Structure 1
């Protein structure tokens, strides 16, 4: 596995308590099996019932990374590998013109950079992450979304992982498809070559290893939302759109 960023996470006291409660609740219920190898936490199985005392319901547990830093999760290991020569990003569905982008074409789109914090719902965070990528308005421009397209369905190369954002959510000022992190190309554990970044939402909405964006007319539950997660996990209710 690629070396992970060893920046130490910052947690809020209430988040630490929440993360422990989620972990103990899930393990006590026997709902999820945890497999740890090469610093990656894999999750096997699904919640047998909602965890109503946690944020949000049904969330899985996190284990500390050695020496601090990010926790890396997979649902279907091993993590996908990225080959710049063959990788393609498809944008289709309710569009006037389906688009297939090479990696070079993705990098040629209007580039933006931002620094934002990353919060995991299980109780840890990493502050000041530097992301490089493209805003969704610029990414979708060539495909020309149809008026009835109200949501984006993100399909990961890590099958069967999918998740969705409404069009309004994807257009908030700090949402992006990121291909760079902390001044370097996106590392494999963080979703190379491209991942969703939604700083105002909990981290599980940040689909990694994105290979397709399908425009659709309705929002359906994503992979973890089918297992009890909140569909719209805003960090602060005033940010909700």
Structure 2
């Protein structure tokens, strides 16, 4: 799961969520015992989900393998490999030197809550991939998180059809915090948050789409808001 958190380390069990949306979610752990409650309104989606999930205002941070990953700016690298002409290794300074994109978009979690008007700053994927050079048979990007074993995939068609898809480096005017995926995370506003892989350390260009961490546990591969996961 990508973002989101309440304290106390409480799990959300199968009955609370599966019985509502018809998909499985086992062993979901609330991340570090940190509550990131920001001054943003939370727009709740379907009423049945609202009644099953404890809600407050702001973000909830989920983790599949706590604690949250750390990174060291001097040694961190983002690797781009797979079906490319020239594999790349970007430092954080390299990423910040690429053409910057900014946007304001809403974030929707499949468990039923949203955060409106999030300000993101980062890099569009075409700019990120330009120096690597995609091979003709490239059709998808697999995003590998340093929070192992979290991986998820988006097709190039999906990314290019979404003008606000990006690899984000900043949120609300500041560098990403540790709990929000520092130093780099996927932002895909048209899809639910589990597609927004945090702590991205590698992007592998592929010719196939494989189920990611939560798809292997019952979620829809194409996670469009309001059109997937029984919502």
User: Is the 8 Å Cα contact of residues 192 and 208 (structure 1) preserved in structure 2?
Assistant: yes
Q: 1:39 aligns with which of 34, 44, 56?
A: 34
User: Is the 8 Å Cα contact of residues 109 and 193 (structure 2) preserved in structure 1?
Assistant: yes
How far does residue 23 in structure 1 lie from its aligned partner after superposition? 3.0
> Per-residue CA shift, 1:7-51, capped at 9, x if unaligned?
xxxxxxxxxxxxx9853738xxx97345555137xxxxxxxxxxx
How far does residue 69 in structure 1 lie from its aligned partner after superposition? 1.4
Taking structure 2 as the reference length, the TM-score comes to 0.79
Rounded to whole Å, the distance in 2 between the matches of 1:214 and 1:170 is: 14
> Per-residue CA shift, 1:179-209, capped at 9, x if unaligned?
0000000111110000000001111100000
Find the counterpart in structure 2 of residue 224 from structure 1: 214
Find the counterpart in structure 2 of residue 81 from structure 1: 70
Q: 1:162 aligns with which of 138, 151, 159?
A: 151
User: Is the 8 Å Cα contact of residues 178 and 196 (structure 1) preserved in structure 2?
Assistant: yes
1:43-58 residue pairs with structure 2 within 5 A?
none
User: Is the 8 Å Cα contact of residues 84 and 135 (structure 2) preserved in structure 1?
Assistant: yes
Rounded to whole Å, the distance in 1 between the matches of 2:84 and 2:151 is: 19
Q: 2:112 aligns with which of 120, 123, 126?
A: 123
Find the counterpart in structure 1 of residue 10 from structure 2: none
Find the counterpart in structure 1 of residue 164 from structure 2: 174
Taking structure 1 as the reference length, the TM-score comes to 0.75
Number of aligned positions between the proteins: 198
> Any unmatched runs of 5+ in structure 1?
7-19, 41-53, 56-60
Find the counterpart in structure 2 of residue 44 from structure 1: none
Secondary structure in 2 matching 1:189: helix
Q: Which runs of 4+ in 1 moved over 2 A?
A: 20-26, 30-37, 61-65
1:184-223 residue pairs with structure 2 within 5 A?
184-223=174-213
- Residue 105 in 1 paired to residue 90 in 2? no
> Any unmatched runs of 5+ in structure 2?
7-13, 36-47
Relative to structure 1, the CA distance from residue 187 to residue 201 in structure 2 (aligned partners, 3 Å threshold; closer, same or farther) is same
User: Is the 8 Å Cα contact of residues 165 and 188 (structure 2) preserved in structure 1?
Assistant: yes
User: Is the 8 Å Cα contact of residues 29 and 64 (structure 2) preserved in structure 1?
Assistant: no
User: Is the 8 Å Cα contact of residues 63 and 71 (structure 1) preserved in structure 2?
Assistant: no
Point out the structure with the larger strand share: 1
Rounded to whole Å, the distance in 2 between the matches of 1:230 and 1:35 is: 20
How far does residue 63 in structure 1 lie from its aligned partner after superposition? 4.3
Rounded to whole Å, the distance in 2 between the matches of 1:144 and 1:176 is: 18
